[in-house]
Amino acid sequence: MPTTERAAGPDVEVVEPTRMQATIARRMAESKSTVPEFQVTVEARVDLAVSLRQQLKDSVAGAEKVTMTDFLVRACALALRKFPEVNSSWVDGKFQRKRAVNIGLAVAPSQGMGLLVPVVHDADIKDLIQISIESRQVIERARSGRPGEGDLSGATFSISNLGMYGVDEFTAIINPPEAAILAVGAIKDVPVVEDGRIVPGKVMRMTLSVDHRVFYGATAAQFMAEVKRLIENPVTLLVSGS
């Protein structure tokens, strides 16, 4: 039989990481080797959130680009205010409770490999439209390579949403010194049981990765139950002090 000879030359292409990629590699390795973590997953019905999002886009000025991630930022911000243990860090053997609720959004850069985490500061005192506008602005500035002061720092909690890529469920690696990160999957149309009947419904799975030094299983479950309650009753996200 004829044989095919491999072309001369190395079998591996060696690519130098960018400064961003090297930093990400170092921080993620540090996180996995030093943070004792566990995960909690819940599934939420998001029919009402999807409907409300469309109503806002159609009828409210400034809401034309509201995303499900914006809903999640608002829901997590309110839940963090209710569960300050989650909005904390473990530093030098002590708990640091953060007074500000600053939510990082894990996004891909516009070009090349890497990860950016622009931050929506004081998300708990901003309404849904403010969050939508600001999150879009900080993401655009970060991707353009011109982040503003504080755009990429100060996060106390992060969200990573891969639902737009068709991912059903995943776990995200905590970004120290934060104590938790929420991984969000795709919205799926599935049959659900409602009042004893099978009906079509929209569901979304969310997984919280937790630094077990900072808070524990019961708090993680209660926090996720609150996020689920808020996202399933999205009118609460439009009301101050929900």
Query: Looking up tokens 């409210």, which residue turns up?
Result: 60
Reported as a single tens digit per residue, the pLDDT across 177-235 is: 999 999 999 999 999 998 999 999 999 999 999 999 999 999 999 999 999 999 999 99
In sequence order, which residues have a C-beta less than 8 Å from that of residue 98 and are 6 or more positions away?
Answer: 84, 87, 88, 89, 156
CB 179 within 8 A of CB 215: yes
Q: What is the pTM of this model?
A: 0.91
Reported as a single tens digit per residue, the pLDDT across 83-113 is: 999 999 999 999 999 999 999 999 988 777 7
Q: How many helices (H) and strands (E) does the chain have?
A: 5, 8
Domains and CATH numbers, the chain: 37-238 (3.30.559.10)
Q: Kindly give the pairing relationship between strand 180-194 and strand 157-161.
A: parallel
Nearest alpha-carbon partner for 37 in 158, 180, 139: 180
Distance CA 140, CA 134 (A): 10
Active site residues: 212
DSSP secondary structure letter of residue 187:
E
